[in-house]
Amino acid sequence: MSNLPKNLKYAASHEWAQLENDNKVRVGITDFAQQQLGDLVFVELPEPGRKVKAQEQCAVVESVKTASDIFSPVSGEIVEINGELTDEPEMVNSDPYQSWLFCIKADDLSGLDRLMDADQYRSLIEE
C-alpha cells in the first residue's frame, strides 16, 4: 500500500502538489510512482523562470527501468528546483514526499481543484 499524505493533492499522472504561502505549489512524484519506476538514477528539472501550463511536461525522472515525464499540476512560473536531486536522485525513492522536484508560482490556483484528494488517488492506483 502506498503512503498517501492527506494534505496533498494528486494528479492522475502521479505527481503530488502542496499549496504553500504566496500561491507557491511544491511538486513531486508519489510513493506509488517511485515504486513503479524503481531506483531513480537521474532527474532532469526545469529551469527556474520557465513558464509552464497546467499538464505541460516540464521534468523527467529516469530509473533503472524507464524514463517518465513529469507534468505541471498548475500554470505558472518555476520559481525553485530541488538541486540536491541532481546529485542524489535516489532521495525520491527514500522519501518521495520530502524530496520535492520543483515549485511553481501559480497564476491561478483553480488547477488544484482538478486534482484528486488522497482517497480519490488511492482508488485510481488500486484499480
| Structural domain includes residue 62 | yes
> What distances in angstroms separate CA 97 from CA 38, 39, 74, 124, one per listed residue?
16, 16, 18, 19
Looking at every residue in the chain, the average pLDDT score rounds to 95
- Which pLDDT score, from 0 to 100, does residue 2 have? 64
What digits encode the pLDDT tens for the residues 72-109? 999 999 999 999 999 999 999 999 999 999 999 999 88
The structural domain count of the chain equals: 1
Identify the CATH number of the domain in which residue 24 sits.
2.40.50.100
| Structural domain includes residue 33 | yes
| Structural domain includes residue 31 | yes
pLDDT at 1 over 80: no
Q: What is the pTM of this model?
A: 0.94
What digits encode the pLDDT tens for the residues 34-75? 999 999 999 999 999 999 999 999 999 999 989 999 999 999
Q: Which domain holds residue 66?
A: 9-125
| Structural domain includes residue 3 | no
| Structural domain includes residue 4 | no
